[in-house]
Amino acid sequence: MIIDFDSIKEERYPQFKGGEKELMAKMYFDGQTRVMKGRLIPGASIGLHTHSDNCEVLFLTKGNAHVLYDGQTIELHEGQCHYCPSGHSHSLINNSDSAIEFTAVVK
């Protein structure tokens, strides 16, 4: 299966999961798995949330960001991957001067 993000409309999600500013994302969802290509402008974040019955893999494709993971702040650099297993909490924060881009899979 191919997911063509170029053919998916980008949506705006204000204060996504309680975060700051907005998330811009193209999302594919088949009822079980969500695959997302996202973008956060400077100062934007995805709010802190817990993956109770699923997990998330997030690959940073552009820029540098911070991840709040189980109470610890971790630097995430372009080309790195962050994994949040089921039962854990995280937040993605763009505290840089330029937009960040990422691809995420929630299963």
What does the mean pLDDT of the chain come to? 97
Instruction: Look at residue 3 and tell me if it is in a domain.
Output: no
Specify the pTM: 0.94
CATH code, 100: 2.60.120.10
Instruction: Look at residue 79 and tell me if it is in a domain.
Output: yes
pLDDT of 62 reads 98
Instruction: Look at residue 75 and tell me if it is in a domain.
Output: yes
Instruction: Look at residue 4 and tell me if it is in a domain.
Output: no
Query: Residue 59's domain spans which residues?
Result: 10-106
Mean pLDDT of 8-32: 97
DSSP 48-65: EEE-SS--EEEEEEESEE
Instruction: Look at residue 63 and tell me if it is in a domain.
Output: yes
**CA dist 24 to 1, 44, 45, 74, 103, Å?**
24, 10, 11, 22, 12
Give me the percent of the chain exceeding a pLDDT of 70. Answer: 100
Mean pLDDT of 87-107: 97
Instruction: Look at residue 102 and tell me if it is in a domain.
Output: yes
Instruction: Look at residue 1 and tell me if it is in a domain.
Output: no
